[in-house]
Amino acid sequence: MADIGKVRIRVPSTIKKGDVVRVKSIVTHPMEIVERDKQGKPIEKKYNYIYMIIVSYNGKEIAQFETTQSISQNPYLSFAFKPDKPGQLKITYLDTKGGKYEGTQEIAF
Chain segment 19-55, per-residue pLDDT in tens: 999 999 999 999 987 788 999 988 888 889 999 999 9
Bridge partners for 90 per DSSP: 56, 104
Q: Are strands 50-57 and 21-27 parallel, antiparallel or unpaired?
A: unpaired
**Residue range 82-103: mean pLDDT, rounded:** 96
- State the DSSP string of 48-100: --EEEEEEEETTEEEEEEE--TTSPSS-EEEEEE--SSSEEEEEEEEETTS-E
Q: Given this model, what pLDDT does residue 86 score?
A: 96
Helix (H, G, I), strand (E, B) or coil at 9: strand
- 36-45 as b/e, with b when 16 or more CB fall inside 10 Å? eeeeeeeeee
Which amino acid is present at 102? E
Q: Are strands 87-95 and 50-57 parallel, antiparallel or unpaired?
A: antiparallel
pTM assigned to the model: 0.89
